[in-house]
Amino acid sequence: METLLNIVIYLPLLGIPLILLIRNENSRKWIALLVTIITFLASLPLMFGFDVANSGTAQFLTEGGRIMESLDIKYLIGLDGLNLLLFMLTTLMGPIVILSSWNSVTKHLAGYLSMLLLLQTASLGVFASLDLIVFYVFFELSLIPMYFLIGIWGGAGRIQATVKFFIYTLFGSLVMLVGLIYLGYDAGAAMGGGTTFTTDWRFLSSDIYTVGLVEQTYLFLAFALAFCIKVPLFPFHTWLPYAHTEAPTAGSVVLAAIMLKLGTYGLIRFCLPIFPNAFMEFAPWMAILAVIGIIYGALVAMVQKDVKKLVAYSSVSHLGFVVLGIFALNTVAVQGAIIQMINHGLSTGALFLIVGMIYDRRHTRMIKDFGGLAKKMPIFTVMFMIAILASIGLPGLNGFVGEFLILNGSFFSELYDNKVFAILATTGVILAAVYMLWMFQRVMFGPLTNPENEKLVDLNGREIGLLVPLVIFMFWIGIHPVDFTKYSEAQVTELIEASEAKSIAVLEEARNEELPNWTARFYDVSESESQIASTK
């Protein structure tokens, strides 16, 4: 199984030389499709063989040697409750993405397919890596194919969009790199035994290792900046609408379904267990940004004239929910956040695919160019409707599960200690219904006024085929979510308990230390002392 995990990660990479060697364009597409399908099939045993009860421990672990005696940086990959579903989502999206651009991309096809496959390997690697440096390497590696995907195969404003996307993301992750190196030395010193540096997640997140309060603040901010840009959380979202609008369909789908998740995933995986105190103290502030993002994203989405831009802004809004759930820090909300990441991948991925399909036919995405399509394209209408309803959280579909858990958890969150967040966030759900359904109504219903739309043909077999798996999962998660939430439940519970215990330990330690005034005040160090005294 360990080998299988490695095979799944690197199989797409192996497809690249094949694609470059073969001269026939059609065979190239088939090879890419086959490679991604095999990758997906090969990843299924990982899901079925996953030990759900022990989701807190990394499984199928591959542990390489240290790069140096004293430097504990190593190739360390494995799956646990936090990354399993995202990993599976990535392998599922692989063939769908290749199929989505079957006929629409003709320019430099070999390069295009190679970039998609490279992106697949990078995304799988980043989710599976449990060493922070290896994580960082895959994290950055995923930028390169996306840079070319948007830059070469994107729309008219592609160059600006891709450069902005690249530099924005890189800026955040470089700041994280400094924090990462500092953390590594700090942890290495704590580990002892000749080790001076370690970025092993298992050690960093364990209760043996704690970070001091002052360091936690800076390190949390450095890490959170990188992840918030990636999410993107308001006000770091400005690169997203550009990148999404200009990217080719496949690029948008991967960006929305997979790459944005790296941000929210990083917050849970790294910020919570390593910097628990900072995580908890900053939680209300992050929640404010998340709620602003939810409402702002929805309001901006409402006035968009371009369907793709509308979906892009809806992403800002939906990911605000995920961040809100993560920082609420109770099992319900965090579980909701994890399942919502998958949901967003499925429904927004499907929406981008659908927008791509209509764009392929009409070469426009402007709402005003459409109207009355429902008569011409019945299957398309059904698919579009399902995706939209999933996205706005209709009960019975996946979106409802995630949003309900998040709102429920945030409402009772001790960290927020304020029901306003959940209440305000709920308006986001209402707004989502407004902008999505309003758009749907303008595009699909009403009289068919534009004569150009007369010639539209309904979805073909390929297009239906690539949407069907997504629709199945939308219903499956919506009707029986426990099939999916079970994977992360044990780990999330453990993680939250461990982090809370760790934060108390850090506070206790801090009482005996000289701290700068602001730190003591920010973390309520003196108060915790009295609390501890009162419990005694």
Partner 1 sequence: MDYLGDIQAFLPGVITAVAGLVVIVVESFKKESPLNFWITVVSLAAALFISLQALDTNLNTAFSGMLVYGGPVAFGNMIILAGALFSVFISEDYLRGIGHYYGETYALILFATTGMLALAGSNDLVTLFLGLETMSICLYVMAGLIKDEKSGAESALKYFLLGAFSTGFLLYGMALLYGATGTTSIPEIGAAASTNLLFLAGTGLLLVGFLFKISAVPFHMWTPDVYQGTPTTLTAYFATASKAATFIAFILVLSRALPIMEGLNWQLVLSVISIITMVFGNIIALVQDNVKRMLAYSSIAHAGYVLVGLAAGTIEGYSAVLFYLFAYTIMNVGAFGVIAYYERNKGLDFNQVQNLAGLGYKEPLMGISLSVFLFSLAGIPPLVGFVGKYYVFAAAINAEMIGLAIVGVLASAASVYYYLRVMVYLYFREEHQPIQLFTPTLLYKGTIAVLAILALYYGIEPLLPGEGLMDILNTYGGYSTPFM
Cis ω before 232 (30° cut-off from 0) = yes
Q: What is d(CA 451, CA 76) in angstroms, rounded to the nearest whole number?
A: 58
Tokens of 454: 């007369």
Identify the three-state secondary structure at position 197.
Answer: strand
Beta carbon of residue 186, minimum distance to partner 1 (angstroms, whole number): 10
Smallest distance, partner 1 to C-beta of residue 171, A:
5
3-state secondary structure 446-499: CCCCCHHHHHCCCCCHHHHHHHHHHHHHHHHHHHCCHHHHHHHHHHHHHHHHHH
Question: How many of the other CB atoms lie within 10 Å of CB of 241?
Answer: 24
DSSP H helix total and E strand total for the chain = 24, 4
Question: What is the rounded distance in angstroms from the CA atom of residue 271 to the CA atom of residue 274?
Answer: 6
Q: How many CB atoms lie within 10 A of CB 47?
A: 14
What count of Cα atoms within 13 Å lies in the side-chain half-sphere of residue 515? 24
For residue 219, the minimal CB distance to partner 1 (Å) is 11
Q: How far is CA 112 from CA 26, 50, 142, 150, in A?
A: 13, 34, 14, 10
448 is written with which tokens?
A: 């068919």
- Distance, CA of 251 to CA of 311 (rounded, Å): 14
Minimum gap (Å) between residue 133 Cβ and partner 1: 8
Q: Considering the complex, state which of residue 215 and residue 529 has its C-beta at the smaller distance from partner 1.
A: 215
What is the rounded CA–CA span in Å between residue 350 and residue 466?
A: 9
Reduced to 3 states (helix: H, G, I; strand: E, B; else coil), residue 129 is: strand
Which structure tokens are listed for 185?
Answer: 């030395």
Nearer to partner 1, 185 or 476 (CB): 185
Q: 3-state SS string over 188-252?
A: HHHHCCCCCEECEHHHHCCCCCCCCHHHHHHHHHHHHHHHHHHCCCCCCCCHHHHHHHHCCHHHH
Phi first, then psi: what are they for 95, rounded to 5°? -65, -35
Q: Dihedral through CA 493, CA 497, CA 499, CA 505, nearest 10?
A: -170
- Toward partner 1, which CB reaches closer, 7 or 141? 141
Q: Which residues pair with 422 in a beta bridge?
A: none
Nearer to partner 1, 148 or 440 (CB): 148
Closer to partner 1 by Cβ: residue 155 or 469? 155
Work out how close the CB of 101 gets to partner 1 at its nearest, in angstroms, rounded to a whole number.
18
Nearer Cβ to partner 1, position 157 or 396? 157
Least Cβ distance, residue 112 to partner 1 (angstroms): 12
Q: How far is the CB of 313 from partner 1 (least distance, A)?
A: 25
Report, in Å, the least distance between residue 519 CB and partner 1.
17
Closer residue to partner 1 in complex, CB, 119/290: 119
* C-alpha neighbours within 13 Å on the C-beta side of residue 152: 19
How near is the Cβ of 90 to partner 1 at its closest, in Å? 19
Contact between 154 and 249 (Cβ < 8 Å): no
Q: How far is the CB of 17 from partner 1 (least distance, A)?
A: 13
Residues that bind partner 1 (CB under 8 A): 64-65, 67-69, 73-75, 108, 133-134, 136-137, 140-141, 143-144, 147-148, 151-152, 158-159, 162-163, 166-167, 170-171, 174-175, 177-178, 181-182, 184-185, 196-197
Return the number of the residue (74 or 237) whose C-beta is nearest partner 1: 74
CA 206 – CA 498 distance, rounded (Å)? 8
Half-sphere exposure of 31 (CA within 13 A, CB side): 23
Return the number of the residue (173 or 410) whose C-beta is nearest partner 1. Answer: 173
Strands 71-72, 197-198: pairing is: parallel
Q: Which is nearer to partner 1, 150 or 328 (CB)?
A: 150
Beta carbon nearer to partner 1, 73 or 211: 73
Using the minimum distance from each CB to partner 1, give the nearer residue, 13 or 505: 13
Least CB distance from residue 267 to partner 1, whole Å?
Answer: 21
Q: Distance between CA 89 and CA 340 in Å, rounded?
A: 12
Based on its alpha-carbon atoms, the radius of gyration of the chain, rounded to whole angstroms, reads: 23
3-state secondary structure of 50: coil
At closest approach, how far in Å is the CB of 181 from partner 1?
A: 5
Q: Which is nearer to partner 1, 168 or 411 (CB)?
A: 168
> Least distance (Å) from partner 1 to the CB of residue 296?
26
Amino acid at residue number 71: L
